[in-house]
Amino acid sequence: MNIDLPFIWESLVELLTAIPTTLAITAVSMLCGLAIGTVVALIRMYKVPVLHSVAASYVTFIRGTPMLTHLLLIYFGLPLIVDALSAQFGWPFRSVNIPMITFAYISFSITAGAYLSEVVRSGLQAVDKGQIEAAYSIGMTTRQAISRIVFPQAFAILLPSLSNSTISMLHGSTLVFTVSVVDINAKSQIIASSNWKFFEAYIAAAAIYWGLTILIERLTAIVEKRINIYNRGGVT
Amino acid sequence: MIKLTQIKKSYGRHQVLKGIDLTVEKGEVVAILGPSGSGKTTLLRCMNYLERPSEGEITIDGFTVNCKRPSKSDIHSLRKQSAMVFQQYNLFRHKTALENVMEGLVVVQKVPKEQARKRSIELLEKVGLGSKLDAYPSQLSGGQQQRVGIARALALNPKVILFDEPTSSLDPELVGEVLSVIRKIAREGITMIIVTHEMSFAQEVAGHVIFIDDGMIVERGTPNELFNSPKEERTKQFLKRYTPDGVYSI
Ligand SMILES: Nc1ncnc2c1ncn2[C@@H]1O[C@H](COP(=O)(O)OP(=O)(O)O)[C@@H](O)[C@H]1O
Ligand SMILES: [Mg+2]
Q: CA triplet A178, A183, A186: central angle to 5 degrees?
A: 55
Give the pLDDT band of residue A236 (cuts 50, 70, 90): very low
Rg (Cα) of chain B, in Å, rounded? 18
Q: What is the pLDDT of residue B29?
A: 96
Alpha helices (H) in B82-166, listed in sequence order: 97-103, 113-126, 142-155
Q: Which of A133, A137, A235 to mutate to test the interface with B (most CBs of B within 10 A)?
A: A137
Indicate which atom in ligand 1 lies nearest the CA of residue B215.
Answer: 14
What is the rounded CA–CA span in Å between residue B55 and residue B18?
A: 10
Q: What is the pLDDT of residue A231?
A: 73
- Summarised one tens digit per residue, pLDDT across range A23-37 is 999 999 999 999 999
**What 8-state DSSP symbol labels residue B48?**
T
**Mean of the per-residue pLDDT values of chain A:** 93
Residue type, A86: S
Residues with CB under 6 A from ligand 1: B 11, 16, 34, 36-42
**Residue A99 DSSP SS3:** coil
Domains of chain A by range and CATH? 21-180 (1.10.3720.10)
- Summarised one tens digit per residue, pLDDT across range A100-140 is 999 999 999 999 999 999 999 999 999 999 999 999 999 99
Cα distance from B84 to chain A (closest Cα, Å)?
A: 6
- Chain B CB contacts of A146 under 8 Å are none
Which residue's CA is the nearest one to ligand 1's atom 5? B11
Helix count and strand count (H, E) for chain A: 10, 0
Given a cut of 70, the residues of chain B with pLDDT beneath it are 243-250
CA A200 → CA A31, A75, A182, distances in Å?
33, 31, 18
Q: What is the pLDDT of residue A93?
A: 86
Using CB atoms, which residue from B76, B92, B135 is nearest to A134? B92
Using CB atoms, which residue from B88, B138, B141 is nearest to A232? B138
Domains of chain B by range and CATH? 12-91+160-240 (3.40.50.300)
Indicate which atom in ligand 1 lies nearest the CA of residue B51.
Answer: 1
Cα distance from B24 to chain A (closest Cα, Å)?
A: 20
Average pLDDT for A199-228: 94
* pTM, full prediction: 0.88
Number of the ligand closest to the Cα of B39: 1
What is the rounded CA–CA span in Å between residue B202 and residue A233?
A: 34
Q: What is the pLDDT of residue B250?
A: 45
Average pLDDT for A69-77: 96
Number of the ligand closest to the Cα of B165: 2
What is the rounded CA–CA span in Å between residue B51 and residue A2?
A: 74
Cα distance from A94 to chain B (closest Cα, Å)?
A: 47
Average pLDDT for A4-23: 94
Q: What is the pLDDT of residue B240?
A: 86
Phi and psi at A25, nearest 5°, equal -60, -45
Using CB atoms, which residue from B50, B79, B94 is nearest to A153? B94
* Polymer length in residues for chain A: 236
Q: Which of B82, B107, B161 to mutate to test the interface with A (most CBs of A within 10 A)?
A: B107
Q: What is the pLDDT of residue B245?
A: 53
Which residue's CA is the nearest one to ligand 1's atom 8? B42
Distance B41 CA to ligand 2 centre (A): 4
Q: What is the pLDDT of residue A229?
A: 75
Residue A230, pLDDT > 80, answer no
Residue A46, pLDDT > 60, answer yes
Complex prediction ipTM = 0.93
Give the pLDDT band of residue A3 (cuts 50, 70, 90): confident
Q: Is B189 exposed, middle or buried (0-12, 13-18, 19+ CB in 10 A)?
A: exposed
Distance B37 CA to ligand 1 centre (A): 6
Sheet holding B14-24, edge to edge: B14-24, B2-11, B55-60, B63-66
Number of the ligand closest to the Cα of B15: 1
**Residue B166 DSSP SS3:** coil
Using CB atoms, which residue from A138, A141, A230 is nearest to B103? A138
Task: Judge: A144–B108 Cβ closer than 8 Å, yes or no.
Answer: yes
